[in-house]
Amino acid sequence: MLNRNLLALAAFALALTACDSKPPRQFTMDELAGKWQLQPESFPSLQNRMGQVPKNSQLVLSADGRFTSTDMPLEEFPPIRQYKYRSGRGTWRLIPQIIRHIEVIYDDKDVETLSVEADTNDSPFLVHAIGDPESSERWVWKKVRDRRLATH
């Protein structure tokens, strides 16, 4: 009888916990628009995978769904996993079927998918996990604050 009561209490506590958790924050295209820079925590992976780290790797997302990139690292597969730096332009979009992901599509159809995560201040950052989404090896992009706007 005691075990049954403990089991019921544990199920009730689990249900309360599940009700209290909130879904992940969704970011809009307007919130994600801006200049993004590859972060130094990504450099060891890039050095290991590609033999060099670019000096000014950046991604600029426009709210109208266009983007430009400079030395953006891409992971390609199948049939063979390959890595390259890519500069160019194209379109980007939120992926409605996958919560908190964006897709950048180059004009020549190269595609990169990035997850959108939030830091402790609820500010977004972009991530490409190497291999699978649970990988600890990640390329991280943070938004660059426009200093011109901050001084006015």
Residue matched to tokens 């450099």:
43
- Is the pLDDT at 89 greater than 90, yes or no? yes
| Distance between CA atoms of residues 133 and 41, nearest Å | 17
Q: What is the DSSP letter of 41?
A: G
| Distance between CA atoms of residues 138 and 60, nearest Å | 20
| Distance between CA atoms of residues 107 and 111, nearest Å | 9
- Is the pLDDT at 16 greater than 50, yes or no? no
Give the model's pLDDT for residue 21. 61
Give the model's pLDDT for residue 63. 97
| Distance between CA atoms of residues 96 and 104, nearest Å | 14
- Is the pLDDT at 67 greater than 80, yes or no? yes
Alpha helices in 82-151 (DSSP H): 147-150
Give the model's pLDDT for residue 77. 76
| Distance between CA atoms of residues 104 and 69, nearest Å | 10
Banded model confidence at residue 3, pLDDT cuts 50, 70, 90: very low
Q: pLDDT per residue over 29-55, tens digit each?
A: 999 999 999 999 999 999 999 999 988
Gyration radius (Cα) of the chain, Å: 20
Is residue 88 within 8 Å of 106, Cβ to Cβ?
yes
Q: Is the whole model's pTM more than 0.85, yes or no? A: no
